[in-house]
Amino acid sequence: MTKKCGLLKNDSEAALLNNRICVLKVFYIIGISSVFACIIFIYYQDNLKVENAIWESGSYFSSHPKSTHLLPFKTQNDFHAPSTDLSSEACGLPVKDDTVIKLNNQHTYVIGSYMEHRYIEKEIKTIAIVLRSEEVNYVCVMCCQGENVTSQAEYVIHRDHFEFDYGTATISCPIESSCLNPTHVALTTSDLSSTIDSFQPIRNREPPSVFPVNFTICISTMYDYKDVLNLVESMEMFRILGAQKVAIYRTNCNPDVQKILDYYVKQNFVDIIPWTISDHIEVSSGWRKAESQGQLHYYGQIPALNDCVYRYMYQSRYLALQDMDEVILPFADKTWTSLLPKLEEFYGDSVGFEFENNIFPFKQRACREYDISKWKHVKGTNILNYIHRLPNVPNEFNNYKIIVNPRLVVKPTVHGILEGIYDDSLTVRVHPNVARMYHWKPFGFPSDTQLILDDHLWDYANDLVPAVSRVLQECGFFDR
């Protein structure tokens, strides 16, 4: 078969030479590493005995400061019936279910409020965006069986603010005996001049007995988005991999993209969460304060991810925290559905999983293997045409995104977890030969870079291409 793409001629010669050197290297590495493996095996056996002894003596949790207030993990069956109360009035005030609510007289934007069940002392956690320089004495007003109950709140600003003026905060309201089952909450300040004029529903009040879906993807912030083809390809890949829900924190997109989103919302595959923080403060298009202006890191990606973790905590067995131009592909397995049980069997079920980022730059020569004629007039990038990736430098830090059981997470961040219920670092790196992340984007690189041919996405093409065509057709992008 003559492929319509491939490495340039001298690229392939270089690759051949590389291969020879590689074989030699592999030979040596195998030798050395078997010696090491032996030593490590013996060492590990000893350590395992120590760990087991600690477990059996019951001292494991007491040596874990964070775990002391932790409830034993609830099984799914401990939970009962419905959750959020979405009626339009509470304690005589209107209920606002908006994702971004400005607090009167403060530079505080409330995103969502959730019941925290995982510690012995229950509390309400509110995810918010706050001006870091402003110190606020928050007060919680809870609606409890028709009565207002007030208590003092505490808050922490997450440390992943990247020096921007605004940061993510978790505001906690303790649940007290005077009000054990609040349905709504509003924040105000101890300053008497600020009163409340609406309530927000408390979500996750009574988690469902069965998780409605196994895999949800949190897409934090869709901003000025217009890549129709990439969007549909990603969504169909997510579905093939096993995702049953995609949550999109949407600021804006063009009408063609909206058409696609409407289609998926109607299918109950996509939830759109309106992300209007840019109406209030200037969001940055970058992640470094020194390089891009604005008051909040990267369109507010971090508060969106934090909200997503709590919003879907009991709606989904696992969450993937990633972007629309990223796809996590396993190798031996075809789907996440079969991969995740294996990872949990190997690493245990109290960790999240890191998948290494691999960049497929659009700057390279596009390959035309999958130029589908019907897609010709659809705007956007066909990721099937980009199969050369930049090499990741071994032994250097390679970025990643995670798939995690959300009930393990206290504070997620862009790459991984800032705080988990057991520990601060709560994720393990999945070997890139087991699964890795494919990330398509315009990206500059030195001209002498040896790109690596990696067409693993094509292994899905037989399912992907007809699925994408069907969606484009049903959305009216072409005739039969």
Contact residues for ligand NAG, defined by CB under 6 A: 91-93, 146-148, 195-196, 213-214
The nearer residue to ligand NAG, 33 or 338, going by C-beta atoms, is: 338
Tell me the C-alpha distance between 430 and 265, whole Å. 32
What minimum distance in Å lies between the beta carbon of 332 and ligand NAG? 17
Shorter beta-carbon distance to ligand NAG: residue 67 or 214: 214
- Smallest distance, Å, CB 327 to ligand NAG? 20
Closest CB to ligand NAG among residues 214, 392: 214
Note whether 161 and 132 are within 8 A (CB): yes
3-state DSSP call for residue 263? helix
- Our CB check for ligand NAG shows the closer of 293 and 338 to be 338
Burial of 355 (0-12, 13-18, 19+ CB in 10 A): buried
Q: Is 361 helix (H, G, I), strand (E, B) or coil?
A: strand
Residue number, 231 or 247, with CB nearest to ligand NAG: 247
**In one letter, which amino acid is 243?**
A
- Report angle CA 160, 300, 164 to the nearest 5 degrees: 50
Pick from 433, 385, 99, 447: nearest CA to 251: 99
CB 405 within 8 A of CB 317: yes
Nearer to ligand NAG, 336 or 386 (CB): 336
d(CA 255, CA 219): 19
Residue 209 Cβ, how far from ligand NAG at the closest point, in Å? 13
Task: Tell me the pairing of strands 352-361 and 435-441.
Answer: parallel
Q: Is 14 exposed, middle or buried (0-12, 13-18, 19+ CB in 10 A)?
A: middle
* Beta-bridge partners for 119: 70
For residue 405, give the amino acid letter. N
Answer yes or no: are the C-beta atoms of 136 and 106 closer than 8 Å: yes
Is 219:248 a contact under the CB 8 Å cutoff? yes
Residue (of 349, 426, 409) closest to 116 by Cα position: 409
